[in-house]
Amino acid sequence: MCGNAKCAALVEGALNHQTFSTIPVIFSQLMQISSDPNAGIGDLAGVCERDLATSSRLLRMANSVYFGRNVDQPRVSNITDAIVRLGFRRAQEIIMSASVALVMRVQHSIVDYSAIGLWQHSIAVAIANRLLYRNIFGEHESQDAYLGGLLHDVGLAIEHQFMMQAGFGRAVEQRYISSGLLLDTETDNLGFTHEELGRMLGEKWNFPAYLTELIAAHHDTQIAPDHPWAPLIRINQVSEWLCFSLGLGYSDFSKAHADELAHSRQFLDITDADIQQTAGLLHKEMEALTRTGWFELHHKYAA
C-alpha cells in the first residue's frame, strides 16, 4: 500500500487516532445484536444511550411524521419508545449513521468537496443500497447493503481529517480540474487511495468480509462475476451512479466514471422502472432527513 515510511506513518497515525476509537466498538455491538435472535430493544437502547448525539438523532427521527410518528401521536422522550416507534432495523441504521458522523468533524471545503457533501453522499448511497437490495433480493440482510453504502468512502473522511496538507487537498483540486477519478490523483499525491486505506481500516477493525471488500473495491467496475460479494459491490456502484445523477452530495468522480458504474445495472438486471422507483423513494427520504434537521444536526455535533 504505502511505499515509504512517511506514508505508512500517516496512515497508522490516522487509524490509531482517538476520534475513531468508539466506532469499531459500536459496530461490533450492533452486529452482535443483529445476529442474536434473543437480543431485544433494551440491548439496542443500551448502545444508543451511551452517546448524546446518537440519542438526539434517534429521538428526532422518531418524532418525525415521515419516519415514525403519526400526526395524532404524542412525542416520545425516551430511547426505548423511540426504537419501538421507528422499528428495530431503522433504529440500527440511525445509530450506525450517528457513529460514522464522528469522522466528519473537519469543516474545510475544497472546490466541489466538503465534509457535509461527503456525508450527504454516504447517506444517499446507503439508502439507495437498501432500496435496491430489497428490490432485488428481498428484505433479508438488507442492513448489510445500508452499512456498506454508509462506509464505502470512509477512507476519504480519514484523508480529509488527517492528510489535508499531506496531499489530499491537492488530489481533490486536481480531480476537479481534470474531471477525472479521485483514485488517480490520490495515488499521485498521497501514494495510496481511499479504497486501500479503507481496506486497512476494515482489517484493523475486524469488519466482516463483505464490508471490507466493498470498501476496498467499490470503484472496481471489472469485479469478477464469481467474486463472493460481487452483487453487493455492483449494487453500491449503481447507487453511486444514481446519486451522482441526482446530485446528492459529493461524488469523487465525473461523468465518464459514472457511466462505467451504470454498467453494473446489466449484471443485476435492474430496469429503468427499478431506477425510477428507487430514485423517487430516495429523493423523498433525503428530503425528509433534511426537513428533520439530519444534516444540520450532523453539522452541530461535528463542528
Which sequence spans correspond to the domains of the chain?
5-302
pLDDT in tens, 66-106: 876 676 778 888 899 998 988 888 888 888 888 787 777 66
Cell of 36: 442474536
Residue 4 has pLDDT above 70, yes or no: no
State mean pLDDT over 98-125: 84
Residue 114: what residue type? S
* Alpha helices, H only, the chain: 5-15, 22-35, 41-48, 52-62, 79-86, 88-100, 115-137, 142-151, 154-162, 169-178, 182-189, 194-204, 209-217, 230-246, 255-262, 264-268, 272-291, 294-302
C-alpha–C-alpha distance, residues 133 and 274, integer Å = 11
Contact 298, 104 (CB under 8 A): yes
How far apart CA 280 and CA 266 sit, in angstroms, is 21
Which CATH architecture is the domain 5-302 placed in?
Orthogonal Bundle (1.10)
User: Which pLDDT tens digit goes with each residue over 31-67?
Assistant: 788 777 888 888 888 888 777 778 888 888 888 878 7
- HSE-up (13 A, CA, CB side) for residue 219: 19
| DSSP bridge partners of 114 | 109
